[in-house]
Copies of this chain bind each other. A is one copy, B any other.
Amino acid sequence: MSSRVQNIRGMRDHLPSAMILRQHIVATLVSVFERYGFEPLQTPVIEYAETLDGKIGDDEKLIYRFEDHGGRKVALRYDQTVPLARVVAQYQGQLLFPWRRYAIGQSYRGERPGRGRYRELWQADVDIVGSSSPVADAEIIALLTDSLVALGFTGFTTLLSHRQLLGGIARVSGLDDAAAGNVYRAIDKLDKIGVDGVRAELLAGGVAHDAVERILALISLRGAADDVLAELAQRLSGDERALAAVNNLQAIISHVRAMGVPEQQFTIAPSLARGLSYYTGSVFETVVHNPPMGSLLGGGRYDELIGLFAGRPIPTVGLAFGIERLHDVMEELGLGPQARTVAVALMTIFSPEMAPASLALAHELRAAGLAIEVALDPGEKLGKQLQYADRRGMPYALVLGPDELAHGEVVVKDLRTGDQRRLARSVVADALRRM
């Protein structure tokens, strides 16, 4: 058999050591999502190609397409937002709005793989479908804050802005809607090219010198959220849409506070553009600054996309946690479980005759909820069994010899220190749980 023994680049195998972290990430997110009353949805990876056509802009060329056995033109999903839009239209009679749904799964993008860029990527999406209330926007921000805290992140801040804020900034600086598009694109690069870079790009794009300076002054506003919003309200007082955006942000942050998000974990950042053109209201992005790891995730309100299939606007706010990004960053920061194995102990088999008693003890401990691996070869020397457990990185090994069995005891060996203790069988489960 001359098969190639290799995964495709950009599509990762996750061995157990990595999976222990990934499962911790997913389980933690699900637990927070469910505390907020979000409900799980699962859709197939394969969709009719038509369903995806014309929904995601320039990246459409990255979609994996093929014909199935029945000659249907099908595609692998690119994200979980378009499938959500299809589901909302297809099952609207069965769904009750507002609908909080989460979805965790793979999407596929035919990109050139590179650092942080994968062809198979897992995302955990949360969206509130069918509400334009600022309480919904606030809830998404509170949820992401709780999620990151639960994952062990400490020094992070969510930057918050609004689509109509940048528009207003462009308009009060004397630009029309067409020119405003160039302003968004230039500001979107602020992190990469700095204020001077944005200035150069705006000037090169034909924006007048004083307009450029007014724009830069507005997007550079920093400080306490209320102060920044008050300042923006004053400077944008001539632009009704921008003022509505400021009021919307004011409402959102008051709800965010009521939901217990500490002041240092959110801020107003008028420069926040967020690339995706489908956002229509609030936009946000969470940045890890301690240690500095850059942007972790983002989201916002998009009131048009979800209603595309249903034929009417359906206001929606949400975000996607990129599991690949969380995985990579948490690995780098050493966050998450440090265990190298699922099993807390190896149940050794002292001798072939002791096999039944040892398997019975393993059964007893498993029934008590402990993760116990058993040695599989009753004829193997005890030393080799202990060596295997140690090489696997298991914290403990259990030994049950004839003498222990006769006295109702078990030897618990700490494989990191080499210490061993003989304990009454009845307390072993509790002892392992405590250790």
Contact = CB atoms under 8 A, between A and B. Distances in A.
A75 to B, nearest CB: 10
A58 interface: no
Interface in A139-198: 139, 142, 146
Given A36-B366, A39-B19, A259-B359, A7 B372 contact: no
A367 B72 CA distance: 48
B40 A19 contact: yes
Contact of A39 (B47, B94, B257, B341): B341
Interface stretch (A100-108, A226-234, A329-337, A407-415): A100-108
Interface residues of A, number: 106
B260 A342 contact: no
Nearest to A31: B369
Contacts of A376: 98, 128, 131, 133, 135-136, 139
How many copies of this chain does the complex contain? Answer: 2
A64 interface: yes
Interface of A: 1, 3-8, 11-16, 19-20, 22-23, 34-48, 50-51, 53-54, 62, 64-70, 72, 74, 86-87, 89-91, 94-96, 98, 100-101, 106, 108, 110, 119-120, 128, 131, 133, 135-136, 138-139, 142, 146, 254-255, 257-260, 308-309, 311, 341-343, 346, 355-357, 359-360, 362-364, 366-367, 369-374, 376-378, 388, 391-392
25 contacts: A1-B311, A3-B50, A3-B309, A4-B50, A6-B48, A7-B47, A8-B47, A12-B44, A13-B43, A13-B90, A15-B95, A16-B40, A35-B369, A37-B341, A37-B346, A37-B371, A37-B374, A45-B45, A64-B68, A66-B66, A66-B67, A100-B373, A135-B374, A138-B359, A139-B374
